[in-house]
């Protein structure tokens, strides 16, 4: 992925991670990469690929576009009305509520693992 400004990317990653009160290691574990790989993003030595950037954005409660500086809108956009089937809308709203709870309460990686295990027991496919 080509990023216009690695300085901007690394600053935004660090700022958002610190807002969530996460260490580099905790965030790396949450998204399934090594701490040294994540650290290289914050040092501006490497840029995450598209899939990794999306995982980072999900974990930090924002959009990839916000991290890349393409928008000032940090919040995820929710489609309304009949654009989304009802069942998917419910799942999406539940996911957003959990994301907000994690951000608000500073869930630890252990609490997130417990949540993932609970979702797996309910039949969800969680990576």
Q: What integer pLDDT is reported at residue 71 of this predicted model?
A: 80
The chain-wide mean pLDDT, for the chain, equals 78
Span 81-108, average pLDDT: 63
CA distances for 92 relative to 44, 48, 86, 95, 112, angstroms: 33, 25, 10, 5, 17
- Tokens 């576009």 -> residue: 65
Express each pLDDT in 14-23 by its tens digit.
999 998 888 9
């Amino acid at each position: 992925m080509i990023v216009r400004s690695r300085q901007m990317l690394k600053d935004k990653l660090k700022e958002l991670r610190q807002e969530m009160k996460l260490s580099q290691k905790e965030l790396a574990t949450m998204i399934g990469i090594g701490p040294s790989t994540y650290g290289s993003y914050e040092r501006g030595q490497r840029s995450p690929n598209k899939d990794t950037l999306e995982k980072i954005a999900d974990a930090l409660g924002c959009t990839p576009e916000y991290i890349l500086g393409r928008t000032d809108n940090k919040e995820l956009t929710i489609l309304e009305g009949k654009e989304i089937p009802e069942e998917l809308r419910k799942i999406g709203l539940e996911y957003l509520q959990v994301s907000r709870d994690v951000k608000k309460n500073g869930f630890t990686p252990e609490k997130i693992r417990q949540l993932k295990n609970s979702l797996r027991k309910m039949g969800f496919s969680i990576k």
